[in-house]
Structure formats: C-alpha cells, structure tokens
Amino acid sequence: MIEVLATGPAASVQDGGRPGWAALGVPHSGAFDAAALRLANRLVGNDPGAAGIEIVLGGLAVRTDRAVTLALTGAPCPGAAWGVAVTLPAGGWLRLGTPATGLRSYLALRGGVAVDPVLGSASTDTLSGLGPPVLRAGDRIATGRELGPVSGAESAPGRLAPATLAVRPGPRDDWFTPAGRRALVTTTWRVRAESDRVGVRLDGPPLERARDDELPSEAVLPGAVQVPGDGRPLVFGPDAPVTGGYPVIGVIADLGAVAQLRPGDPVRLRWCRDSAGRRDGRRAT
C-alpha cells in the first residue's frame, strides 16, 4: 500500500478514460496528458492505459509500506528522478516540489493503481463525479498485479507548454466575422486562473461574432475551442461535457500540450496546414 501524505494543489487517479459513453452524457475523462501517462506506464512495465496519478503543480508526498517500483513523467518536479523507473524500499517516501515549467506530472506505480472501475475506467471525473474522489492526505492506494518487464530508463524530458498550438476550423467557425477568425490566430492569449480539467480558459479581446442567435446544444469533444458569451475562447479538457450550447470555432488535436499550460502562460493559435502546405483555416483569412 502507498499512503498519501500530501497532494499539492490537486492529485487524482487517471487512466485511459471512458470512451464510448457520450450518448449517455458521460465525459471521456482520463489523463489530460495521455502520452505522459502512457510513457510512465511503459517505464514500469504496465499496460499503457493502466491507472496512475495525475499531479497538478507538484506537492505530492507519498510513503510506501513495501518496496514499489514507480516512474514520473510530464512536468518535471524537483525531488524525484524523471523518466526512469526507480524502486522505493519499504518505508520509503517520495516528495515532489513545484515544477519550473509545465503543469501536470504523472506517477505510475508498477501494477497500476487498484481502484474499482466505473463504466470500465478508474479515472476521477471532476465534472460528473464518476470514479474515485480526488486524492486527499491520509488516503491509502493499493497497487495491482505486476505485468511486463521494467524499462530501466528512457529519455523522457518534461513537456514544455508550446508557445503556439495548431487548431483546425470547427463546425461553427462561420458564426464569427473574418476579423473574429483572424483574431483567434493573431492574438497572444493568456491562460486564465479558473482553468481546470473541464476546460482551459483564455483571456484576451472578445472574438467578433457574425451571428447573435442562440445555438442549440450540440456534441462537443475534448480539444474543442468553444466561444462563450463573453467572446473569449475556452479549450475543452477531458472532463468537459459532451454537449455545449456555444459555437465551436476550432479544434485542437494535441490535448497533451493544452494540459501543460499554466495560469498566466501566453499561448498563440495557428491554423493547421494540409499535406500540400495550404492553410486549413479555410475562411480565416
């Protein structure tokens, strides 16, 4: 068993998520930076989608009552080896500092985190409340059965939040004026403090709309760039609802890059280009 001594700003159990339940209103959930969790699992010999711990801005402290092999990836925190499988002895402890860059780190334990799955997933869904509750000091975490061989070490630098994110036109980009569509990719946005796993909110000038009528609720997905009534973009995260009533101007495919954006970070968007090098933002000139 692993005892949680401290969680920092937030820590939760996450795995590959709950795909396939959107028709019932269930969000996808799962690790925000899925590639980082898959890498951590590979380092300790787990299945790629095994449950691990998603940590926001470090601060996690744990103690083990038996020897356990673990690996840390994502945003690099002081206090632990990064991108390498290490074994804590019985009675050993781990305490993470605050990462200098990035937001979310991932801790994989050999055998995975053993919790009862809900709709096939061990993920904590902060919007619907499905899955285990967010971790708190005093929680005890069990690990599952061991699987494949441990991958001693691997080059696994923490991801830096990119200055620019690629975006494809969304289904409602024509609800915005040409000036509004241009502003989406020419503005230097700032990540707002109220961002979370449901969505990353961007601060900047409101995007000019071409239509003022109401949009009936329609399907949305993680990575969708929705523009609420205040005109400032919101990038949906893994715990986002499955429908929304505001126009989606674009979609960002690299959700892992979005996961590492910190409050106050500057971020730019750019239209994707197709294989011929043409800009994919068809009407956003």
pLDDT over 70 for what percent of the chain? 89
Q: What is the reported pLDDT for 283?
A: 44
156 assigned to some structural domain: no
Output the pTM of the full model.
0.92
Note whether 171 and 136 are same-domain residues.
no
Domain interval for residue 229? 164-271
Q: What is the reported pLDDT for 146?
A: 64
**Which helix H or strand E contains 44, and what residues bound it?**
helix 34-44
d(CA 7, CA 158): 20
Note whether 85 and 37 are same-domain residues.
yes
Q: What is the reported pLDDT for 158?
A: 53
Among candidate residues 68, 275, 270, 273, the one with its CA nearest the CA of residue 184: 270
- The pLDDT of residue 256 is above 80: yes
What is the domain count for the chain? 2
Q: Which amino acid is at 93?
A: W
Q: What is the reported pLDDT for 124?
A: 97
Note whether 203 and 117 are same-domain residues.
no
Residue 17 region by backbone torsions, left for phi larger than 0, else alpha for psi between -120 and 50, else beta: left
- The pLDDT of residue 277 is above 60: no
- Going by pLDDT thresholds of 50, 70 and 90, the confidence category of residue 275 is very low
Note whether 175 and 93 are same-domain residues.
no
Measuring CA to CA, how many Å separate 156 from each of 103, 248, 259, 276?
16, 34, 17, 32
Give the residue-averaged pLDDT of 254-275. 89
Are 150 and 40 contacting, i.e. CB atoms less than 8 angstroms apart?
no
CA atoms within 13 A on the CB side of 203: 11
Are 75 and 158 contacting, i.e. CB atoms less than 8 angstroms apart?
yes
Q: What is the reported pLDDT for 145?
A: 74
From 100, 126, 141, the end of a domain falls on 141
- Going by pLDDT thresholds of 50, 70 and 90, the confidence category of residue 214 is confident
Which of 56-60, 156-160, 225-229 is predicted with the least confidence, judged by mean pLDDT? Answer: 156-160
pLDDT tens digits along 108-135: 999 999 999 999 999 999 999 999 999 9
Note whether 79 and 169 are same-domain residues.
no
Note whether 134 and 206 are same-domain residues.
no
Note whether 128 and 172 are same-domain residues.
no
Beta bridge partners of 218: 244
